[in-house]
Structure 1
Amino acid sequence: MITLRLNHQQHDFLRTVADRDAHLGDVGDLVRAALADASVHENRATPAPTSGPSDRTGEILQPGTGKAFEVAAGQVLRIEQIEGHQCVDLNVFNRADGRERLHVGRTRGMQGLHPGPGDVLWSNAPWERPIMAITGGTATTDTQFPFCSRLIYSAFFGLRDRTNCQEIQNEAQREYGLDPWDLHESLNLFMHTAPGPDGEPVILRNVARPGDHIEFVALIDVLAVPNVCGDDLSNCSNFGVRPVRVTITPGGPADAERARAAYDRSVVLGLPSPREYPGARPLQRDPGYVAAFPHLPLHPADVAVEVSAEHLDRFARARNTDLYGDDEAAALRDIVLSWAIDRLGAFAGNAWP
């Protein structure tokens, strides 16, 4: 017997795959087929966490949620892994004028595909200026992939009504009067991407460990809106959703120095003279706001599956211990969901019901 630990929306996905495959009777058949096909993984020594989980207080963002934080110029925003392996989407707005916000495309063009310490985040036209500086941390970042949304799950998986970054972000920013059409492309934090065999970017398994983090210094007063990516069907967060910690602290002299160095490096040729644009839209918190994130709560939906000794041996040789250590549940979930998603390719030419 082996137990596959899932949430209810992952279970619904596996049921969908099993129902569409004449060779699979139920989820148990799918698990056994996935184990039979699993490739032996060449495990290496499990890397130690970059830094252990911190004892900071801050605010814990639960899976499927996000939060808008006021960050004054000079303050430090820190986003940190608690359990590891969790992608976070980040939107940023000018608190004095919500029309100015992070422009991921301009940031990519000015700072590269994977901004890190010493780089800045750029705002949209007509402002086009640095609004936050990345001053420290161990996080991987990505500027290439769009946020997950209802469209993605419908088009690629035939699924409806499940956690996704677009709707999480819309709800979190609603606290400050921002509408769904105010959402912008997110900066992807703790997302690990690289060129694939054909040169196109691909999302690799998430390598973030407990304690991994990224720190930003606000260069103007901003509203920063991180959300816990709701994608539990890809490498993005290694087929799971986990909490993260957010803290805001006063910046010290060292933070100011690093922020200034990043700013100076990014605008070495100078910037146009700042201008005021009529119709500013200050962002203010709605005191009556009550969070109402869609598609929650996520219910456990464990599946106990009868397997043979051969299946157990295959799992022991295939499980990715260099990534998951002794967390057998996460390793099994990776094997099974990866197999099911690959299996879905066989139905690519068929319309979803």
Structure 2
Amino acid sequence: MPGIGREPRPDLTAAAYQGPALEVDRTFYASVGQEAGRTLVESFEIPIRSGRAWEIPAGHVCRIVAVDGPQVGDLNIWHRHNPRERFWAARTRQLQAAHVTRFDRLWSTLPYLRPLATITADTLEDYGVDGEGGRVHDTLGTRCDPYVNRMLTGEDFDYHCHSNLTRAVRPYGLTEYDVHDVLNVFQCTGLNDRDQYFMKACPARPGDFFEFFAELDLLAALSTCPGGDLSVPLWGPDARDPLEVCRPLGVEVYRLEDAVLEGWQSPTVSAYAGAHGLQEETWHQRAGRAG
């Protein structure tokens, strides 16, 4: 039932990953999520079945808006100055949750391992868990792609999210190889009784939004999923073209006043020295030669 939220139950197994490094300053990020103290610096809409990339300077806020109603968006994020550092969906699932919301962080890949962004507002925060176990803002699945579609249907389709993202990042010198596992914004998903991934109709309404704070200079890319609100099956015996349930998504970028950012600084990369045991191995090799 919507509205249950993420309150822990006594019978749940404790999270595997715990510690002070996962704590966030909720007072600061709650203030970032307020409408006051910000200026709109960029705004655009992404048409259906397409994608677009844009820059978000560190200390700015980015909002993704369901402008006309339910629509799923597949989001990629990179460090603007080093695209090898990018959103790591699997580790975000472990450190935060399989479905993220306000105060959760979007973590980057190794060897960097730091928050790229922190979620500061989510109008679907109270959706919670529905009667089928569905939750929103999914990191369980990934982008739809033409390779799986070809495998399942025997047909080519060039406007899956993987392809939309590939076209979107070309102006920034990136390619298909830079497109990575996504955050499925507004997407409602879960695992069924057979532990299989399922997708449900998107619950977003006109004006709903998902907002995050850029911890670093970021490059983001978003695809308006060709499945639209996912109310129409994409594969299987009941599959048909869901064009009528496809809608655009809006993007807004806000600059924050200096007073809001007082005391904040970008997170540093992992402090791990990066030896991986190789120094020890070299020492043993040298000792053997000396003997």
1:226 aligns with 2:222: yes
Q: Which residue of 1 aligns with 2:249?
A: 244
Change (3 A) 1:81 1:253: farther
Candidates 206, 231, 238, aligned match of 1:235: 231
Change (3 A) 1:84 1:254: farther
Partners of 2:202 and 2:229 within 8 A in 1? no
Q: Which residue of 2 aligns with 1:217?
A: 213
Q: Which residue of 2 aligns with 1:81?
A: 66
Q: Which residue of 1 aligns with 2:164?
A: 168
Q: What code does the residue aligned with 1:113 have? A: A
Q: Which residue of 2 aligns with 1:159?
A: 155
Q: Which residue of 1 aligns with 2:89?
A: 104
Change (3 A) 1:255 1:114: farther
Q: Which residue of 1 aligns with 2:196?
A: 200
For residues 107 and 131 of structure 1, what CA distance do their matches in structure 2 show? 11
Change (3 A) 1:73 1:100: same
For residues 116 and 233 of structure 1, what CA distance do their matches in structure 2 show? 19
Q: What code does the residue aligned with 2:122 have? A: G
Summarize deviations over 1:272-316 as a string: whole Å, max 9, x none: 43889xxxxxxxxxxxxxxxxxxxxxxxxxxxxxxxxxxxxxxxx
- Written as runs of structure 1 = structure 2, the 5 A alignment for 1:1-353 is 58-139=43-124, 140-231=136-227, 234-235=230-231, 239=242, 240-252=245-257, 256=261, 272-273=270-271
For residues 273 and 91 of structure 1, what CA distance do their matches in structure 2 show? 25
For residues 255 and 205 of structure 1, what CA distance do their matches in structure 2 show? 37
Change (3 A) 1:201 1:256: farther
For residues 222 and 253 of structure 2, what CA distance do their matches in structure 1 show? 13
Partners of 1:87 and 1:237 within 8 A in 2? no
Summarize deviations over 1:212-261 as a string: whole Å, max 9, x none: 1101110010101111112259438993221111010112479658x96x
For residues 172 and 189 of structure 1, what CA distance do their matches in structure 2 show? 17
For residues 104 and 171 of structure 1, what CA distance do their matches in structure 2 show? 21
Residue aligned with 1:159, SS: coil
Q: More strand per residue: 1 or 2?
A: 2
Q: Mark the structure with the bigger radius of gyration.
A: 1
Change (3 A) 1:114 1:236: farther
Q: What code does the residue aligned with 2:251 have? A: V
Residue aligned with 1:160, SS: coil
Partners of 1:217 and 1:251 within 8 A in 2? no
Q: More helix per residue: 1 or 2?
A: 1
Partners of 1:192 and 1:204 within 8 A in 2? yes
Change (3 A) 1:126 1:84: same
Instruction: Give the structure-1-normalised TM-score.
Output: 0.55
For residues 71 and 211 of structure 2, what CA distance do their matches in structure 1 show? 16
CA shift, 1:155, in A, is 2.1
Residue aligned with 1:223, SS: strand
For residues 256 and 216 of structure 1, what CA distance do their matches in structure 2 show? 14
Q: What code does the residue aligned with 2:252 have? A: T
Between the two proteins, what is the percent identity of the paired residues? 31
Q: Which residue of 1 aligns with 2:25?
A: none
Q: What code does the residue aligned with 1:273 have? A: A
Q: What code does the residue aligned with 1:170 have? A: T
For residues 183 and 260 of structure 2, what CA distance do their matches in structure 1 show? 21
Gaps spanning 5+ residues in structure 1: where?
1-55, 277-353
Residue aligned with 2:221, SS: strand
86-95 or 198-207: bigger deviation = 198-207
Q: What code does the residue aligned with 1:203 have? A: M
Partners of 1:87 and 1:236 within 8 A in 2? no
